[in-house]
Structure 1
Amino acid sequence: MFRVKKTKIPTVILKDFQKFASGYTKVHKEPDGPCVKTEIPGPKSKALFKELSDIQRALVNRPALGVFPGIDWPQKLRDVLLSVAPKGCNQVMTMMCGACSVESAFKAAFIWYCTNKRGGKTTFSDEELKSVMDNKAPGAPKLAIMSFKAPLLQGAFHGRTFGALATTRSKPIHKLDFPSFDWPCAIFPHYKYPLEEHKRENEEQDKKSLAHVCELFEKWEKKGIPVAGVIVEPIQSEGGDNHASPEFFQQLQAICASKCAALILDEVQTGCGPTGKMWCHEHFNLPSPPDLVTFSKKMLTGGYYARPEFKPPQAYRIFNTWMGDPSKLILLEQVLKVIKTEKLLDLVQCTGKVLKCGLHELECEFPDKINSVRGRGTFLAFDATSPEMRDKIMGNLKKNGVLGGVCGTTSVRLRPALTFAPKHAEIFLDILKKSLQQIK
């Protein structure tokens, strides 16, 4: 057995500490006990709570954003997150990451859908309250969220938590061994490039996909599992940087409205500027705001924006203890300030033109190696002619000093920082050309 030797504090240190403690208590006098001057919560807390409730639902009784936000939290939400909110979405809920943002958006969609089915009633029947504790209807209704897959193996990615994973279709390994929901998955348009040379074929792809969406709405209604919402990425990122036209998204929104289902745009990857606009869906000229927009990654914190009607009528419905991290808003505030003052969205558009034009030149020069250049802003991608060719390209890029990313089965994706300038694009294009030339 070991014995811990008792250390004697040197007299000089002990005297210094006693001197400090004596001085501290004189300056910082401890109260004799609690002193309650108003009812609890007091008038200031009530005013702040009302201010916060106009933006999001929260309760105030313990030190975490979900229940006890700081005094400046409502103003921070207005000054930072709501300052860049998608038009028409004046509600914001903060979360820790992309997956929990998607999960919470699903919950908001389900609450909205069920409230509408009750005729706007915000109270629950005894049967609902009892059955939900056994995970049974009517308290736990059978409802679905529709997502998208690509015509080939891979498709949407919305996260790895259980609800989000049910809508993720990018890689089998993400989903293997996990129970899931019986939720529908529509085919995402599969475009041919260059777009201007395949307009008719791509319009047919839009029609085929939208018809499949309508078919699945009807099919799941007949199964007794109505679709309460549709989630879609503005650019199907991990699944291969798959794009769809503004007309596709406009018509998808119209279908959702006609079916009384929520449209959820997952902007976790596309949000915060890489496409040349703050939100990628701004490129689509939607006739009305999307119902919910999820965000994370470049936004530093997670969460979702929503239209006013998607604010839950009861507290604790969309909730966790932390509800994000307030320190991230301090950082994000400065990021957004730099984006604005340095006109980085304009830079992204300028650099994107240089980068995309250069990629088009390379696909013409090396048609046996790359094709299908596509994207918005600097959120770009191209395809290799085979998975093996992509591996060779990526290997050569690495040897020549560039770390790149892949998605889908044959795609190479570009995700430069917002500060990536035309001169940087030229450097990359030179290295990519060299890397392609080295493949024999």
Structure 2
Amino acid sequence: MIEKYQQEFPYSHYLSNLSSLNLTNNIQSGRLPTLGEILCNKTKAPINLHLFYLYMKIVENNVDYLDFWFDLVNHLNLCKHYVKALRESVVRQSLIVSGTPLTSNNPFSGSDDNRDSFPMSEKSIRKSLSLSMLLELIIKDHILEDDDSNRLSEFLRGDVNLKNVSPKLKQMIETYDYDDVQQLSNAVYGEPYLPTYDKRVSLLSPLVDEYDPDLRPPMPRHSLTPSLVEKLIRETNASSDFISRNTVRELSHNLLLKYFVDDSEKSLDLPPKLRQDVVHAIQVEGRDDPDVFNIVKKYVFSHMEIDHLPNFLNFIAIKNVTTTTNSRIIVGFFFLFVSFWLAFTLIFLNEKKRYRCVVLATFFAGFYGLVSSIYKIDPFLALCRRTESFTPHHLFIRVDDSFVRTLLLKRSAWVLFLVLLLTAVMSVLLCLVPGKRL
């Protein structure tokens, strides 16, 4: 199962922490698990994630929801890794500026040493220090946080409003933007850019004819975007070997093509409104943050929790007979027929009553097969901590979960009591009947 996703998505090894996607994160003993605990892979056999996936694939024949869930987790972890790599690059640059020695595993890190061997101008040094201070303020303002999915999506959308950050960070970003405007003005006009309220140009001036609207200075910045952080990191000569934003966008687009468009590879039974919202957010708005799939994620989670989880627990957690029900019925009726045949044969042969006790074994085998098929509980398998497997390559599954093991033992005790009771009643009845030779 895991190998499948590693082949389809090369970044699937970031599939580690699923807690932020689920409603329950800490498993509690003494009860059956919730769907969140199973998806977190915090449960043991036979109610773990691996068997739940096989159940959805083999028994329910509806594994698309779980495939979407795993792909969604892969997308979230890729977004987290992207933001985490940005933060680590910022921290690495801050350590370099502060003079802390760093060891790099990058085979191309030698180029940094050659680059540093060239003397830097005083202006470049001031700019590097200024950018490093700006990046450090971004870290201190907790903008590059990958633990909170809401802040993560807000940053990826570029919705971090400068009004909500610290005044010093806002001032430095505005200063950085102003310096960019000055450089653009120098490159185009050969002179520093002056705002319109400082330098007025007459409408009759020949400069108006030379005005190119495409060379206008950029509009004032109102939010902090990932592209700005990437630009700052690259301008500080920090390592930029993190995952690119295009990789995140590509993965979001793959999810769109795989699950939400017409004739997609996987089929999700979603309301048309949810499907249209996701398509519009990715194709029209160009979004790739995890919140794009937030409503669909909740819908899929609720669907699996209501429609599939109870069937799974009923199928494998409170029963240990899954595939041999019909054969147990056949064997049970066969031994009951043998029991009655032996009993009546011994009765009409007027054999001694102690010889008739042989029907104890046949009655036990017959009632064992019938009662275990009705309750779908095999006491012998429960004692051996095994349950029947529904997969084609295994006969039994080991029961490692303590609550499931206790539950199966309790139900097995009731089944065994019924088997012994029926065996005793029928055996005593047929053994004590007076014999008469025909």
Q: Normalising by structure 2, report the TM-score.
A: 0.20
Q: Greater helix percent: which structure?
A: 2
Who wins on radius of gyration, i.e. which is larger?
Answer: 2
Q: Which has a greater percent of strand?
A: 1
